[in-house]
Amino acid sequence: MSKVAIVGTGQTKFSKDDCDVEKLLFESASNCIQSTNNCDSNNIDGVLVSTNNNLKYLGAILSETIGIQPKISHSIEHLCSSGTNAIISAYSYISSGLSDIMLVSGVESATNPGQVLRWDKSRGNFEHPIYWASMLTKSHKRKFQTTEEELAIVSAKNHKHAMDNPFAYSNEPKTISEVMNSKQITDDLRILDCSRSCSGSSSILLASEEKAKAISDQPIWITGIGQKTTSASFTKNILEEIKSTRIAANSAYKMAKIESKNIDVAEVHDAFSVCELMAISELGIAPNGKSGEFVRDLFNTENRMINPRGGLIGAGHPLGATGISQTIEITNQLQGKSNKRQISNVKTGLIHNMSAAGTSSSIMVLEN
């Protein structure tokens, strides 16, 4: 397989308001193309759109609105990890030689239908993600003696990081106490433990090794990819684990020829506070059963290693765009362009995204 690089990025600000999907797509794609060194749009031979929106033919619509006629254009949907899967699909097109330069654009409106998986009849009347999140949280507390304060630290940390992210839906800080005293949704979940569905769009440009160096002074290489789907039904999960993440991480590490200890910075899927604790453990970044202590230490030492842009909780969660924004953050970190969020000496970064209570996970390793 030939090498594939990230050579351009563009985003819109995330918002709680419903916004026009086609306009958002155009805005992030336009910002993305402008971020490159004179990339002629006509050289983009593939356009992928990741979204949970029911609008049709968005790959072709985006192509027309940016004035190109690519070989490849279509949409990709996989609930929360749609964006990551779209990037991996674009990687595959390029590494196989079917494409040279691919534009991947994710988009969502705040009221999108991607939050509820109606097919999953095992959820009964408890369709909304807050119910599976309550089960995972209660189970994590039971197995690992995770405290309410440790869960609140995840949210306080990510809100703090989001203050320095100009694309986050909110830049308001939240203290641990504010999180712990925020509106109670269930006995095991507060409103500030939850990410918020948003409108927003993110775009990324990928290129083959041959094309990358002409388009970008600092191409960032995708060196590891891992994916795993264990089911679609939430109730087939083992509550204390995210098996799909563990398997996908091992595949990505093997492909990149690294170990978890080599990860300098990671964007992980924190749809709910407990998800971050579970993810960093399954990724091998935090010792098993010690992820609460690990996050507390990050917070106390102002170490931004996990979710420097604020994660889903701090930045917002426009499902189809989330995985692309996560990837842009790690790209910027590896390029040294993260401004106040910048972590020093970053060589290797990781993106973790997952869908439907972790029944499917997608992971990428990036290196500069």
Partner 1 sequence: MTFFEDQLGEGVFQICYCKNCNNTIWPSKETCHICHNKTDWKKSRNIGKIIEFSKREFMYFGLIEIDDGIRVLGDISSTSTPKIDQTVRMSVSFNSKPNYSFIVENN
Interface positions with partner 1 (CB under 8 A): 118-127, 131-132, 134-135, 137-139, 142, 185-189, 233-236, 239
What one-letter code names the amino acid at 70? P
Alpha helical stretches, state H, 77-217:
82-95, 129-144, 148-162, 176-180, 209-215
**Cα separation of 46 and 63, whole Å?**
9
| Closer by beta carbon to partner 1, 43 or else 231 | 231
| Structural contact between residues 131 and 123, judged by C-beta atoms closer than 8 angstroms | yes
If you compute the radius of gyration of the chain from its CA atoms, what whole number of angstroms results?
19
| Closer by beta carbon to partner 1, 131 or else 299 | 131
DSSP character at residue 336: T
Kindly state the smallest distance separating residue 133's Cβ from partner 1, in Å: 10
**Cα separation of 346 and 328, whole Å?**
14
Contacts of 185 (CB under 8 A, 6+ apart): 130, 134, 191, 193, 194
Number of neighbouring beta carbons within 10 Å of residue 69: 12
| Closer by beta carbon to partner 1, 123 or else 296 | 123
**Cα separation of 130 and 352, whole Å?**
21
**Cα separation of 74 and 113, whole Å?**
19
Contacts of 212 (CB under 8 A, 6+ apart): 3, 5, 7, 219
Contacts of 256 (CB under 8 A, 6+ apart): 223, 224, 348, 365, 367
Kindly state the smallest distance separating residue 236's Cβ from partner 1, in Å: 7
Tokens of 12: 């819109």
| Closer by beta carbon to partner 1, 100 or else 193 | 193
**Cα separation of 127 and 210, whole Å?**
47
Kindly state the smallest distance separating residue 231's Cβ from partner 1, in Å: 10
Contacts of 263 (CB under 8 A, 6+ apart): 283, 285, 348, 349, 350, 365
| Closer by beta carbon to partner 1, 67 or else 124 | 124
Kindly state the smallest distance separating residue 182's Cβ from partner 1, in Å: 15
| Closer by beta carbon to partner 1, 164 or else 188 | 188
**Cα separation of 272 and 341, whole Å?**
22
| Closer by beta carbon to partner 1, 22 or else 127 | 127
Kindly state the smallest distance separating residue 190's Cβ from partner 1, in Å: 12
Kindly state the smallest distance separating residue 135's Cβ from partner 1, in Å: 5
Tokens of 238: 């083992």
Kindly state the smallest distance separating residue 111's Cβ from partner 1, in Å: 19
Kindly state the smallest distance separating residue 319's Cβ from partner 1, in Å: 22
Kindly state the smallest distance separating residue 276's Cβ from partner 1, in Å: 19
| Closer by beta carbon to partner 1, 74 or else 141 | 141
| Closer by beta carbon to partner 1, 75 or else 137 | 137
